[in-house]
Amino acid sequence: MDLFSILKKSFSWLSGDIAIDLGTANTLIWLRGKGVIINEPSIVARSVHDEKIFAVGNEAKAMVGKTHRDIETIRPLRDGVIADFNMTDGMLQGFIRKVELNRIARVRMVICVPSGVTDVERRAVKDSGERANAKEVFLIEEPVAAAIGIGLDISRPIGNIIVDIGGGTTEIAVISLNGVATKESIRIAGDEMDESIVQWFRNEHKLEIGLPTSESIKKTVGSAMRMKPETISVKGRDLVNGIPNTIQVSSDEIRHALKDPVNSIVESVKQALEKTPPELASDILDRGIILTGGGSLLNGIDQIIRERTNIPVNVSEDPLLSVVKGTGMVLENVRKYKDVLI
């Protein structure tokens, strides 16, 4: 390989276009020609005095619940949209520094957003990309990106329904001919499940647990349907005497704790189906419902949707990466996918 080729390869790495899945729970970045280069929690650790950022991503997550009075950890995105503009900018800059992107080069960005966001929220995402030195910023709706990432040909006159259960939102979309025929978006997803578990322990066991513990419980024994019973030990702070305590809980209890958010997601799927034109509904009966996003990994959620809709349900092959893969595929061929950009 000659010197020119080496330099060309280096600068394509440093200044390549990027696709971003800016999620409530995790941020994933796809570099053109390289694939996923960042997959880290959307968390920032900052000073409470001057908001100076100490850490982002994995390093910040390790500090959650363990900081002192001078440092706090925050999640700058809430319910799938930007809640703190400055911290989102800082987080993105932190991730970009990690991958050593050339901060002088003006890159093209494709960023996915929930289908239910307002025009103001869309503008905020675009502004954030532009402040990160992008020359062009394109947006794509999350369920559309997920469908492309799964490998569906969304340009055909065939109805496909995607249910993307993320951290902050659940996105349901019936897609055909490069467009969204029917959609539902609710701000109930993985985060709401974690909060429900926290509240369950407060109310039923008078035990205070943190969100990282709640998330771990959800992943370990959480379910939407009755499964083989398991018992786990949970550590927290006793709300009666304030002393650390360990209790034993059953997986059935966690299922009860998750009942409300799971029911909300199922009802939203049913509402989307009820609004679907009959010819597209016929396609869905044949092709089934496709689940993606981290929430689709909850044990039994595919079964409960199948039972309550009488429609086959399949979890996508790589549900945590479907959206960023689709966003990356759009980045790699913007001309082909221009009709799905917003």
Whether residues 29 and 96 share a domain: the answer is yes
Whether residues 114 and 175 share a domain: the answer is no
Domain count, the chain: 3
152 within a domain of the structure (yes/no): no
pLDDT band at residue 156 using 50, 70 and 90 as cut-offs = very high
Q: What pLDDT shows up at residue 3?
A: 30
Whether residues 165 and 300 share a domain: the answer is yes
Specify the CATH number for the domain of residue 205: 3.90.640.10
Specify the CATH number for the domain of residue 27: 3.30.420.40
Residue-number span of the structural domain to which 165 is assigned: 158-188+262-317
- Distance (Å, rounded) from C-alpha 134 to C-alpha 22? 15
Interval 153-163 mean pLDDT = 96
151 within a domain of the structure (yes/no): no
Q: Which of 46-60, 95-109, 164-178 has the lowest mean pLDDT?
A: 95-109
CA distances from 317 to 61, 176, 321, 332, 335 (A): 27, 21, 9, 21, 27
Whether residues 63 and 212 share a domain: the answer is no
Whether residues 24 and 98 share a domain: the answer is yes
Is the model's pTM score more than 0.75? Answer: yes
238 within a domain of the structure (yes/no): yes
Q: Which of 96-110, 168-182, 216-230, 251-265 has the lowest mean pLDDT?
A: 96-110
Whether residues 35 and 82 share a domain: the answer is yes
> Any idea how long the chain is?
342
- Distance (Å, rounded) from C-alpha 144 to C-alpha 147? 5
**Listed residue (283, 338, 261) closest to 162, CA to CA:** 283
Whether residues 331 and 284 share a domain: the answer is no
Whether residues 101 and 174 share a domain: the answer is no
pLDDT band at residue 182 using 50, 70 and 90 as cut-offs = very high
Q: Are 339 and 317 in contact (CB under 8 A)?
A: no
DSSP code of 49? T
Whether residues 133 and 240 share a domain: the answer is no
Structure tokens at 323: 């959206």
287: left (phi over 0), alpha (psi -120 to 50) or beta: alpha
Q: What is the pLDDT of residues 257-270, one digit of tens each?
A: 999 999 999 999 99
Q: What pLDDT shows up at residue 116?
A: 77
- Distance (Å, rounded) from C-alpha 5 to C-alpha 144? 36
153 within a domain of the structure (yes/no): no
Q: Are 165 and 301 in contact (CB under 8 A)?
A: yes
**Listed residue (211, 220, 194, 207) closest to 247, CA to CA:** 207
50 within a domain of the structure (yes/no): yes
Whether residues 240 and 289 share a domain: the answer is no
Domain boundary at 228, 259, 290, which? 259
Tell me if residue 257 falls in helix, strand or coil.
helix
Whether residues 229 and 248 share a domain: the answer is yes
Domain boundary at 259, 283, 307, which? 259
124 within a domain of the structure (yes/no): yes
Q: What is the pLDDT of residues 108-120, one digit of tens each?
A: 999 998 887 888 8
121 within a domain of the structure (yes/no): yes
176 within a domain of the structure (yes/no): yes
Whether residues 230 and 307 share a domain: the answer is no
Structure tokens at 190: 């993985």
pLDDT band at residue 97 using 50, 70 and 90 as cut-offs = confident
Domain boundary at 243, 259, 275, which? 259
